[in-house]
Structure 1
Amino acid sequence: FIFEVMDCPDRYRVICGQLQLTGDARLWWNAYWSMRPGEKAGCTWDMLKELIREKYYPTYYRAEMERQFLSVQQGTRTVDEYEREFTRLAAFVPDLVRTEAQRAQRFIDGLYPAVRHNIVGHGTPTYARAVSIAQEVDASIRREAVRDRAQPSAPVQPFTAPPALPAAQPAKEKKRKGKGAQTDRRTRQRQQQVPPCLTCGRLHRGECHMGQDICYYCHEPGHF
Protein backbone atom coordinates (compact mmCIF):
# COMPACT_ATOMS: atom_id res chain seq x y z
CA PHE A 1 0.00 0.00 0.00
CA ILE A 2 2.85 2.39 0.85
CA PHE A 3 4.52 1.62 -2.48
CA GLU A 4 1.34 2.53 -4.33
CA VAL A 5 0.90 5.80 -2.44
CA MET A 6 4.51 6.78 -3.09
CA ASP A 7 4.33 5.56 -6.69
CA CYS A 8 7.50 3.55 -6.01
CA PRO A 9 9.12 2.01 -9.13
CA ASP A 10 9.09 -1.80 -9.37
CA ARG A 11 12.86 -2.32 -8.91
CA TYR A 12 12.89 -0.25 -5.72
CA ARG A 13 10.00 -2.27 -4.39
CA VAL A 14 12.10 -5.42 -4.79
CA ILE A 15 15.04 -3.84 -2.95
CA CYS A 16 12.83 -2.62 -0.09
CA GLY A 17 11.08 -5.98 0.09
CA GLN A 18 14.37 -7.87 0.43
CA LEU A 19 15.44 -5.59 3.26
CA GLN A 20 12.31 -6.58 5.24
CA LEU A 21 13.32 -10.26 5.24
CA THR A 22 14.96 -11.30 8.52
CA GLY A 23 15.93 -14.49 10.34
CA ASP A 24 14.94 -17.71 8.57
CA ALA A 25 13.34 -15.72 5.75
CA ARG A 26 16.65 -13.97 5.01
CA LEU A 27 18.52 -17.33 5.04
CA TRP A 28 15.99 -18.85 2.67
CA TRP A 29 16.16 -15.86 0.30
CA ASN A 30 19.94 -15.89 0.08
CA ALA A 31 20.04 -19.69 -0.41
CA TYR A 32 17.47 -19.47 -3.20
CA TRP A 33 19.47 -16.98 -5.26
CA SER A 34 22.82 -18.61 -4.50
CA MET A 35 21.62 -21.56 -6.61
CA ARG A 36 20.63 -19.17 -9.43
CA PRO A 37 23.61 -16.93 -10.03
CA GLY A 38 22.95 -14.12 -12.47
CA GLU A 39 19.13 -14.35 -12.21
CA LYS A 40 18.59 -12.20 -9.14
CA ALA A 41 18.92 -8.97 -11.10
CA GLY A 42 15.86 -9.94 -13.13
CA CYS A 43 13.63 -10.45 -10.08
CA THR A 44 10.47 -8.32 -10.28
CA TRP A 45 8.07 -7.27 -7.56
CA ASP A 46 5.44 -9.78 -8.69
CA MET A 47 8.08 -12.52 -8.74
CA LEU A 48 9.20 -11.68 -5.20
CA LYS A 49 5.61 -11.85 -3.92
CA GLU A 50 5.01 -15.18 -5.68
CA LEU A 51 8.21 -16.74 -4.27
CA ILE A 52 7.31 -15.68 -0.74
CA ARG A 53 3.75 -16.93 -1.18
CA GLU A 54 4.94 -20.36 -2.35
CA LYS A 55 7.40 -20.61 0.54
CA TYR A 56 5.23 -19.44 3.42
CA TYR A 57 1.75 -19.95 2.07
CA PRO A 58 1.83 -23.31 0.22
CA THR A 59 -1.04 -24.77 -1.79
CA TYR A 60 -2.28 -27.17 0.90
CA TYR A 61 -2.44 -24.36 3.45
CA ARG A 62 -4.30 -22.09 1.03
CA ALA A 63 -6.83 -24.88 0.43
CA GLU A 64 -7.34 -25.31 4.18
CA MET A 65 -7.83 -21.58 4.73
CA GLU A 66 -10.27 -21.47 1.83
CA ARG A 67 -12.25 -24.32 3.38
CA GLN A 68 -12.38 -22.50 6.72
CA PHE A 69 -13.47 -19.26 5.07
CA LEU A 70 -16.27 -20.90 3.09
CA SER A 71 -17.58 -22.69 6.20
CA VAL A 72 -17.33 -19.82 8.71
CA GLN A 73 -20.69 -19.16 10.41
CA GLN A 74 -21.88 -16.77 13.09
CA GLY A 75 -23.34 -19.55 15.22
CA THR A 76 -23.72 -18.39 18.84
CA ARG A 77 -21.19 -15.57 18.44
CA THR A 78 -22.10 -11.92 18.30
CA VAL A 79 -21.93 -10.18 14.93
CA ASP A 80 -18.76 -8.37 16.03
CA GLU A 81 -17.02 -11.65 16.87
CA TYR A 82 -18.17 -13.23 13.61
CA GLU A 83 -17.06 -10.21 11.56
CA ARG A 84 -13.56 -10.34 13.07
CA GLU A 85 -13.19 -14.02 12.20
CA PHE A 86 -14.61 -13.41 8.72
CA THR A 87 -12.10 -10.60 8.07
CA ARG A 88 -9.19 -12.69 9.35
CA LEU A 89 -9.98 -15.62 7.06
CA ALA A 90 -10.79 -13.38 4.08
CA ALA A 91 -7.21 -12.08 4.15
CA PHE A 92 -6.00 -15.57 3.19
CA VAL A 93 -8.39 -15.95 0.24
CA PRO A 94 -8.45 -12.57 -1.57
CA ASP A 95 -9.62 -14.21 -4.81
CA LEU A 96 -12.96 -15.06 -3.17
CA VAL A 97 -13.71 -11.48 -2.08
CA ARG A 98 -12.32 -9.39 -4.92
CA THR A 99 -15.40 -7.15 -5.17
CA GLU A 100 -17.54 -5.36 -2.59
CA ALA A 101 -20.57 -7.41 -3.62
CA GLN A 102 -18.73 -10.72 -3.19
CA ARG A 103 -17.49 -9.77 0.26
CA ALA A 104 -20.90 -8.57 1.42
CA GLN A 105 -22.74 -11.64 0.11
CA ARG A 106 -20.35 -14.12 1.71
CA PHE A 107 -20.61 -12.25 5.00
CA ILE A 108 -24.42 -12.33 4.85
CA ASP A 109 -24.48 -16.05 4.00
CA GLY A 110 -22.71 -16.91 7.26
CA LEU A 111 -25.01 -14.92 9.54
CA TYR A 112 -27.49 -16.45 11.98
CA PRO A 113 -30.74 -17.14 10.03
CA ALA A 114 -32.87 -14.63 11.98
CA VAL A 115 -30.27 -11.92 11.36
CA ARG A 116 -29.71 -12.86 7.73
CA HIS A 117 -33.42 -12.69 6.87
CA ASN A 118 -33.61 -9.09 8.10
CA ILE A 119 -30.71 -8.06 5.86
CA VAL A 120 -32.20 -9.72 2.79
CA GLY A 121 -35.10 -7.25 2.99
CA HIS A 122 -32.67 -4.36 2.46
CA GLY A 123 -31.75 -5.41 -1.07
CA THR A 124 -28.02 -5.65 -1.85
CA PRO A 125 -26.20 -3.52 0.73
CA THR A 126 -22.49 -2.75 0.77
CA TYR A 127 -20.26 -4.74 3.09
CA ALA A 128 -20.15 -1.95 5.67
CA ARG A 129 -23.94 -1.53 5.52
CA ALA A 130 -24.48 -5.29 5.86
CA VAL A 131 -22.30 -5.36 8.98
CA SER A 132 -24.15 -2.38 10.47
CA ILE A 133 -27.62 -3.87 9.90
CA ALA A 134 -26.50 -7.24 11.25
CA GLN A 135 -25.17 -5.62 14.43
CA GLU A 136 -28.46 -3.80 15.05
CA VAL A 137 -30.63 -6.87 14.44
CA ASP A 138 -28.38 -9.16 16.48
CA ALA A 139 -28.40 -6.75 19.45
CA SER A 140 -32.21 -6.51 19.28
CA ILE A 141 -32.62 -10.31 19.26
CA ARG A 142 -30.30 -10.70 22.25
CA ARG A 143 -32.12 -8.00 24.25
CA GLU A 144 -35.44 -9.71 23.60
CA ALA A 145 -34.01 -13.07 24.69
CA VAL A 146 -32.76 -11.56 27.96
CA ARG A 147 -36.15 -9.94 28.58
CA ASP A 148 -37.97 -13.24 28.00
CA ARG A 149 -35.71 -15.06 30.44
CA ALA A 150 -36.31 -12.39 33.09
CA GLN A 151 -40.11 -12.81 32.99
CA PRO A 152 -41.39 -15.24 35.68
CA SER A 153 -43.02 -18.33 34.31
CA ALA A 154 -46.50 -19.48 35.39
CA PRO A 155 -46.47 -21.81 38.46
CA VAL A 156 -46.92 -25.46 37.69
CA GLN A 157 -50.05 -26.94 39.30
CA PRO A 158 -49.40 -30.20 41.21
CA PHE A 159 -51.00 -33.28 39.70
CA THR A 160 -53.77 -34.92 41.75
CA ALA A 161 -54.82 -38.41 40.79
CA PRO A 162 -58.62 -38.99 40.52
CA PRO A 163 -60.23 -41.25 43.18
CA ALA A 164 -60.17 -44.94 42.37
CA LEU A 165 -63.44 -46.44 41.13
CA PRO A 166 -64.82 -49.63 42.76
CA ALA A 167 -63.92 -52.77 40.90
CA ALA A 168 -66.68 -54.15 38.70
CA GLN A 169 -68.15 -57.43 39.90
CA PRO A 170 -68.68 -60.31 37.46
CA ALA A 171 -72.24 -60.89 36.35
CA LYS A 172 -72.35 -64.48 37.71
CA GLU A 173 -71.20 -63.36 41.15
CA LYS A 174 -73.88 -60.67 41.21
CA LYS A 175 -76.47 -63.27 40.23
CA ARG A 176 -75.35 -65.67 42.97
CA LYS A 177 -75.46 -62.90 45.54
CA GLY A 178 -78.94 -61.97 44.39
CA LYS A 179 -80.22 -65.56 44.69
CA GLY A 180 -78.68 -65.96 48.15
CA ALA A 181 -80.37 -62.80 49.34
CA GLN A 182 -83.74 -64.02 48.04
CA THR A 183 -83.34 -67.43 49.80
CA ASP A 184 -82.44 -65.81 53.11
CA ARG A 185 -85.40 -63.50 52.79
CA ARG A 186 -87.86 -66.41 52.18
CA THR A 187 -86.40 -68.38 55.12
CA ARG A 188 -86.86 -65.43 57.46
CA GLN A 189 -90.43 -65.01 56.25
CA ARG A 190 -91.27 -68.70 56.96
CA GLN A 191 -89.69 -68.51 60.40
CA GLN A 192 -91.76 -65.47 61.24
CA GLN A 193 -95.01 -67.32 60.19
CA VAL A 194 -94.40 -70.57 62.26
CA PRO A 195 -94.58 -70.13 66.08
CA PRO A 196 -92.06 -72.03 68.28
CA CYS A 197 -93.16 -75.41 69.69
CA LEU A 198 -94.03 -75.29 73.40
CA THR A 199 -92.49 -78.76 73.94
CA CYS A 200 -89.15 -78.68 72.07
CA GLY A 201 -88.82 -74.96 71.31
CA ARG A 202 -88.26 -75.62 67.60
CA LEU A 203 -90.14 -74.09 64.68
CA HIS A 204 -92.40 -76.80 63.19
CA ARG A 205 -96.02 -77.50 62.47
CA GLY A 206 -98.22 -80.30 63.75
CA GLU A 207 -97.70 -82.67 66.68
CA CYS A 208 -94.35 -82.62 68.51
CA HIS A 209 -92.66 -86.04 68.65
CA MET A 210 -90.04 -85.13 71.23
CA GLY A 211 -89.74 -87.98 73.80
CA GLN A 212 -91.49 -90.47 71.46
CA ASP A 213 -89.88 -93.35 69.54
CA ILE A 214 -90.74 -91.76 66.21
CA CYS A 215 -88.44 -90.69 63.36
CA TYR A 216 -88.19 -86.91 62.98
CA TYR A 217 -88.01 -87.23 59.16
CA CYS A 218 -90.60 -89.87 58.13
CA HIS A 219 -92.66 -89.66 61.34
CA GLU A 220 -92.86 -93.50 61.55
CA PRO A 221 -92.04 -95.61 64.68
CA GLY A 222 -89.67 -98.52 64.92
CA HIS A 223 -86.44 -97.41 63.29
CA PHE A 224 -85.39 -94.33 65.21
Structure 2
Amino acid sequence: MELSNHQRVSCPGNLLKMDAQIWWDVIKQTRDLNNMTWEEFFHAFSKKYYSPTVLATKVDKFVTLVQGNLSVTYYALKFDRFVKFAPEMMPTDALRVQRFVRGLKPMISSDVMMTSAEVVNYAEVLDRALKIEYLEERIRKDNAARRENYWNKGFNEGNKRKANEG
Protein backbone atom coordinates (compact mmCIF):
# COMPACT_ATOMS: atom_id res chain seq x y z
CA MET A 1 0.00 0.00 0.00
CA GLU A 2 1.45 3.33 -1.08
CA LEU A 3 0.90 6.39 1.09
CA SER A 4 0.80 9.97 -0.12
CA ASN A 5 3.12 12.55 1.45
CA HIS A 6 0.14 13.96 3.33
CA GLN A 7 -0.70 10.52 4.77
CA ARG A 8 2.95 9.81 5.62
CA VAL A 9 3.08 13.04 7.62
CA SER A 10 -0.40 13.21 9.15
CA CYS A 11 -0.59 9.60 10.40
CA PRO A 12 2.43 9.69 12.73
CA GLY A 13 1.72 13.31 13.59
CA ASN A 14 -1.68 12.35 14.96
CA LEU A 15 -0.09 9.72 17.23
CA LEU A 16 2.01 12.28 19.12
CA LYS A 17 1.20 13.00 22.77
CA MET A 18 1.66 15.74 25.37
CA ASP A 19 4.35 18.30 24.39
CA ALA A 20 4.85 16.66 21.01
CA GLN A 21 1.11 17.02 20.32
CA ILE A 22 1.33 20.76 21.07
CA TRP A 23 4.33 21.01 18.73
CA TRP A 24 2.32 19.18 16.05
CA ASP A 25 -0.64 21.56 16.47
CA VAL A 26 1.70 24.52 15.85
CA ILE A 27 3.19 22.79 12.78
CA LYS A 28 -0.31 22.22 11.37
CA GLN A 29 -1.08 25.93 11.80
CA THR A 30 2.14 27.16 10.23
CA ARG A 31 2.86 24.68 7.44
CA ASP A 32 1.02 23.30 4.44
CA LEU A 33 0.76 19.62 5.36
CA ASN A 34 -0.43 18.67 1.86
CA ASN A 35 2.99 19.60 0.51
CA MET A 36 5.11 18.56 3.49
CA THR A 37 7.27 15.52 2.81
CA TRP A 38 8.17 12.82 5.29
CA GLU A 39 11.78 14.03 5.23
CA GLU A 40 10.67 17.59 6.15
CA PHE A 41 8.52 16.25 8.98
CA PHE A 42 11.32 14.05 10.25
CA HIS A 43 13.85 16.90 10.08
CA ALA A 44 11.53 19.32 11.94
CA PHE A 45 10.74 16.72 14.61
CA SER A 46 14.39 15.77 15.06
CA LYS A 47 15.44 19.41 15.25
CA LYS A 48 12.90 20.00 18.02
CA TYR A 49 13.36 16.83 20.07
CA TYR A 50 16.83 15.53 19.21
CA SER A 51 19.13 18.54 19.08
CA PRO A 52 22.85 17.87 19.62
CA THR A 53 22.53 19.14 23.20
CA VAL A 54 19.59 16.84 23.95
CA LEU A 55 21.42 13.88 22.40
CA ALA A 56 24.58 14.60 24.41
CA THR A 57 22.52 14.77 27.60
CA LYS A 58 20.86 11.44 26.83
CA VAL A 59 24.24 9.81 26.15
CA ASP A 60 25.58 11.18 29.45
CA LYS A 61 22.56 9.78 31.29
CA PHE A 62 23.16 6.41 29.65
CA VAL A 63 26.86 6.38 30.52
CA THR A 64 26.19 7.17 34.19
CA LEU A 65 23.05 5.04 34.61
CA VAL A 66 23.11 2.57 37.50
CA GLN A 67 20.31 0.66 39.19
CA GLY A 68 20.76 2.27 42.60
CA ASN A 69 17.41 2.14 44.42
CA LEU A 70 15.47 1.30 41.24
CA SER A 71 13.84 -2.06 40.66
CA VAL A 72 15.40 -4.17 37.91
CA THR A 73 12.29 -3.55 35.82
CA TYR A 74 12.56 0.24 36.08
CA TYR A 75 16.35 0.17 35.59
CA ALA A 76 15.87 -1.90 32.42
CA LEU A 77 13.22 0.55 31.19
CA LYS A 78 15.57 3.51 31.66
CA PHE A 79 18.45 1.52 30.15
CA ASP A 80 16.38 0.72 27.05
CA ARG A 81 15.29 4.35 26.69
CA PHE A 82 18.84 5.68 26.82
CA VAL A 83 20.73 2.94 24.92
CA LYS A 84 19.12 4.01 21.64
CA PHE A 85 20.95 7.35 21.93
CA ALA A 86 24.35 5.67 22.07
CA PRO A 87 24.29 3.07 19.27
CA GLU A 88 27.99 3.57 18.52
CA MET A 89 28.80 2.63 22.14
CA MET A 90 26.70 -0.56 21.98
CA PRO A 91 27.26 -1.99 18.49
CA THR A 92 26.77 -5.59 19.69
CA ASP A 93 24.38 -7.39 22.00
CA ALA A 94 27.36 -8.63 24.03
CA LEU A 95 28.44 -5.05 24.81
CA ARG A 96 24.87 -4.14 25.66
CA VAL A 97 24.67 -7.09 28.09
CA GLN A 98 28.00 -6.16 29.66
CA ARG A 99 26.95 -2.52 30.20
CA PHE A 100 23.54 -3.53 31.61
CA VAL A 101 25.06 -5.99 34.10
CA ARG A 102 27.71 -3.45 35.17
CA GLY A 103 24.93 -1.02 36.14
CA LEU A 104 23.00 -3.50 38.29
CA LYS A 105 23.27 -3.52 42.09
CA PRO A 106 26.48 -5.38 43.05
CA MET A 107 24.72 -8.43 44.54
CA ILE A 108 22.42 -8.85 41.55
CA SER A 109 25.26 -8.16 39.11
CA SER A 110 27.53 -10.80 40.67
CA ASP A 111 24.71 -13.36 40.76
CA VAL A 112 23.89 -12.68 37.10
CA MET A 113 27.55 -13.04 36.12
CA MET A 114 27.90 -16.33 38.04
CA THR A 115 24.81 -17.77 36.32
CA SER A 116 25.80 -16.49 32.88
CA ALA A 117 29.02 -18.33 32.15
CA GLU A 118 28.07 -18.86 28.50
CA VAL A 119 27.38 -15.95 26.19
CA VAL A 120 23.77 -14.89 26.57
CA ASN A 121 21.62 -12.20 25.05
CA TYR A 122 20.12 -9.13 26.69
CA ALA A 123 16.65 -10.68 27.13
CA GLU A 124 18.11 -13.69 28.98
CA VAL A 125 20.25 -11.51 31.25
CA LEU A 126 17.27 -9.29 32.05
CA ASP A 127 15.18 -12.35 32.89
CA ARG A 128 17.93 -13.68 35.19
CA ALA A 129 18.27 -10.30 36.92
CA LEU A 130 14.51 -10.17 37.51
CA LYS A 131 14.52 -13.69 38.99
CA ILE A 132 17.49 -12.89 41.22
CA GLU A 133 15.85 -9.68 42.43
CA TYR A 134 12.68 -11.62 43.25
CA LEU A 135 14.62 -14.30 45.16
CA GLU A 136 16.66 -11.71 47.08
CA GLU A 137 13.47 -9.93 48.09
CA ARG A 138 11.99 -13.24 49.32
CA ILE A 139 15.13 -13.91 51.34
CA ARG A 140 14.97 -10.40 52.87
CA LYS A 141 11.33 -10.88 53.85
CA ASP A 142 11.98 -14.34 55.30
CA ASN A 143 14.93 -13.03 57.33
CA ALA A 144 12.90 -10.08 58.60
CA ALA A 145 10.08 -12.41 59.66
CA ARG A 146 12.54 -14.68 61.47
CA ARG A 147 14.11 -11.73 63.31
CA GLU A 148 10.72 -10.39 64.29
CA ASN A 149 9.61 -13.84 65.47
CA TYR A 150 12.86 -14.28 67.42
CA TRP A 151 12.52 -10.91 69.17
CA ASN A 152 8.81 -11.34 69.86
CA LYS A 153 9.40 -14.80 71.29
CA GLY A 154 12.28 -13.59 73.47
CA PHE A 155 10.30 -10.59 74.67
CA ASN A 156 7.26 -12.69 75.58
CA GLU A 157 9.35 -15.31 77.44
CA GLY A 158 11.11 -12.55 79.40
CA ASN A 159 7.75 -11.10 80.44
CA LYS A 160 6.52 -14.55 81.50
CA ARG A 161 9.61 -15.04 83.72
CA LYS A 162 9.10 -11.66 85.35
CA ALA A 163 5.44 -12.45 85.99
CA ASN A 164 6.37 -15.85 87.53
CA GLU A 165 9.08 -14.28 89.70
CA GLY A 166 6.79 -11.53 90.97
Q: TM-score, normalised by structure 1?
A: 0.50
Q: 1:48 to 1:23 in 2, by over 3 A?
A: closer
Specify which structure has the bigger relative contact order, considering alpha-carbon pairs within 8 angstroms and separated by 6 or more residues.
2
Deviation at 1:140, TM superposition (A): 1.2
Asked if 1:25 is matched to 2:27, the reply is yes
> 1:14–1:48: 8 Å Cα contact kept in structure 2?
no
Partner residue of 1:53 out of 20, 43, 46 = 46
Deviation at 1:75, TM superposition (A): 1.6
Q: Which residue of 1 aligns with 2:159?
A: none
Q: Which residue of 2 aligns with 1:188?
A: none
User: What are structure 2's unaligned runs of at least 5 residues?
Assistant: 14-23, 156-166
Q: Which residue of 1 aligns with 2:105?
A: 112
Q: Which residue of 1 aligns with 2:129?
A: 134
Q: Which residue of 2 aligns with 1:208?
A: none
> 2:9–2:38: 8 Å Cα contact kept in structure 1?
no
Deviation at 1:134, TM superposition (A): 0.5
Distance across 2 between alignment mates of 1:49 and 1:61: 16
Q: Which residue of 2 aligns with 1:148?
A: 143
> 2:59–2:86: 8 Å Cα contact kept in structure 1?
yes
Bigger drift between 88-97 and 76-85 goes to 88-97
Distance across 2 between alignment mates of 1:106 and 1:129: 14
User: What are structure 1's unaligned runs of at least 5 residues?
Assistant: 1-5, 32-39, 157-224
Q: Which residue of 2 aligns with 1:159?
A: none
Deviation at 1:26, TM superposition (A): 3.0
Q: Percent identity?
A: 21
- Flag the structure with higher helix content: 2
The 5-angstrom pairing of residues 75-114 of structure 1 reads 75-114=68-107
> 1:72–1:110: 8 Å Cα contact kept in structure 2?
yes
CA offsets per residue over residues 13-47 of structure 1, 9 Å max, x none? 7554332444123346x28xxxxxxxx89x674x6
CA offsets per residue over residues 172-192 of structure 1, 9 Å max, x none? xxxxxxxxxxxxxxxxxxxxx
> 2:62–2:79: 8 Å Cα contact kept in structure 1?
yes
Q: 1:50 to 1:101 in 2, by over 3 A?
A: farther
Corresponding letter in the other structure for 2:9 = Q
Which structure has the bigger radius of gyration?
1
Q: 1:13 to 1:90 in 2, by over 3 A?
A: farther
Q: Which residue of 1 aligns with 2:18?
A: none
> Alpha carbon RMSD of aligned pairs, Å?
3.2
**Residues matched between the structures, number:** 137
Distance across 1 between alignment mates of 2:137 and 2:90: 29
The 5-angstrom pairing of residues 160-199 of structure 1 reads none
